[in-house]
Amino acid sequence: MALFASLGKYRNTGLLIVRLGLGVMMMLHGYPKFLGGPDNWAAVGGSMKYLGITFAPEVWGLLAAAAETFGGFLLLIGLAFRPVCLILTFTMLVAAVTHLKTSSDYMDAAHAIELGFVFFGLAFIGPGRYSVDKK
């Protein structure tokens, strides 16, 4: 439609909106995990068993919490954007596999699957002009 054709001029603004929204939500999702301490990290990191990795669940949980918290911040400002997107893609993959293995309803995994695709796609697109990376 001609009415919406002019929105193409604002691709960088659109990327900024997506980065801000996803970055804030990932920080809000990861921060409680990050503050949860070793017991919480072990619970979160225990999800790696569904990928066949059973050692050091506290470390994996801390890495997941840090990926969501600090990765969300880096996503928000557009710094180290592509590596962060790939790390968050992997985090969402683990979350999706965990939900699929522990629930009979695939809709429990839908959010993680959707975010995984978004982060993977953003890794190809880049952060846009309005970012610290400015590419």
Structure tokens at 127: 């952060």
Contacts of 133 (CB under 8 A, 6+ apart): 78, 79, 80, 81, 126, 127
Domain assignment present for 131: no
Domain assignment present for 130: no
C-alpha to C-alpha distance for 135 and 127, rounded to whole angstroms: 7
Which residue range is the domain that position 40 belongs to? 10-125
In tens, the pLDDT along 91-112 reads 999 999 999 999 888 899 999 9
In tens, the pLDDT along 55-102 reads 999 999 999 999 999 999 999 999 999 999 999 999 999 999 999 999
Domain assignment present for 5: no
Domain assignment present for 135: no
Domain assignment present for 134: no
C-alpha to C-alpha distance for 3 and 15, rounded to whole angstroms: 20
CB 107 within 8 A of CB 65: no
Domain assignment present for 17: yes
Q: How many domains does the chain have?
A: 1
